[in-house]
Amino acid sequence: VSDFLVGLIVMPFQILLTEPCWLLGDLFCVLLYFIPFITVCASVANMLLISIDRYVAICDPLCYPARITANRVRISVLLCWIYCVFYSFLFLSDNLKQPGRYNSCYGECVINIIVPVDLVLGFIIPISSIIILYIRVFVVAVSQARSMRSHIAAVKLQRSVTVTVKKSELKAARTLGVVVAVFLMCYCPFYWVSLTGYELIFILFLIYFNSCPNPVIYAFFYPWFRKTVKLIVTLGVLQPHSREFNVL
């Protein structure tokens, strides 16, 4: 949802901000920045939640059903969006007190953001947590694959089930690794350029572009994700008993 909103709402409004003259007022200028702040922040936070989910599923699979329940998932996603809203208010509160205070002339839409703080809270902490979890997931998945190969003499039925499980775990680790690599390629240029004091529209759109590969990557690696997207796009979810469709 967060990645979808970035493409549906954030990018069109950001194109408006590229116009040389802003005619919608200083207050609306600040309010317009809330949308990308919230959605982009939610996209990163949801990536962290997915990393935690994969970590528990692979590193502690026996306790996964008890730890990752439907209610906990709902609460986690809700807290994720609430945090993103407060995060946006925190960084834009100074601009809300006096809209347009950073404009050098009439018709500009300029806001002030403390880049080092945003770098720590919006990039370093989330990506460090994701990378640490990913490394742990990958190490466990590889060790389990090696353990599987060392028990080739086991019962064939047990071996076939084990092969399926291990392939799924390795696929989850690879998927998470690709997502992290794409995330770094899209975000690192923005913060590097921002710390140097330059402003490039292309670099900003590179961050928004990160929301495009994420669903594509998951769709590429997971057949159930492709089936689910097809049901949504073809409006199959609106049919009676759609919740009973088998996508696995």
The model's pLDDT over 209-244, given as tens digits with 9 standing for 90+, comes to 888 887 788 777 777 778 887 888 888 878 887 777
- Would you tell me how many other CB atoms lie within 10 Å of the CB of residue 17? 15
Q: What is the pLDDT of residue 142?
A: 72
Half-sphere exposure of 192 (CA within 13 A, CB side): 8
Q: How far is residue 150's CA from residue 204's CA, in Å, rounded to a whole number? A: 49
Q: What is the pLDDT of residue 161?
A: 47
pLDDT over 60 at 165, yes or no? no
pLDDT over 90 at 204, yes or no? no
pLDDT over 80 at 177, yes or no? no
pLDDT, averaged across the chain: 77
pLDDT over 50 at 135, yes or no? yes
Which of the four pLDDT bands, split at 50, 70 and 90, describes residue 145? low
The burial of 243, by beta-carbon neighbours within 10 Å (0-12 exposed, 13-18 middle, 19 or more buried), is given as: exposed
The model's pLDDT over 42-100, given as tens digits with 9 standing for 90+, comes to 988 888 898 888 888 888 888 888 889 989 999 999 999 999 998 888 877 777 777 66
Q: What is the pLDDT of residue 72?
A: 92
Domains identified in the chain and CATH numbers: 2-211 (1.20.1070.10)
Percent of the chain with pLDDT over 90: 5
Q: What is the pLDDT of residue 124?
A: 87
- Asked whether 122 and 191 are in contact (CB, 8 A), the reply is no
Backbone phi and psi for residue 211, each to the nearest 5 degrees, phi listed first: -75, -15
pLDDT over 70 at 17, yes or no? no
Residue 194 or residue 86, greater confidence: 86
Q: How far is residue 82's CA from residue 76's CA, in Å, rounded to a whole number? A: 10
**Helices and strands, counts by H and E, the chain:** 11, 0
Helix residue ranges per DSSP H, 104-238: 115-119, 125-149, 156-195, 201-209, 213-221, 223-233
Which of the four pLDDT bands, split at 50, 70 and 90, describes residue 157? very low
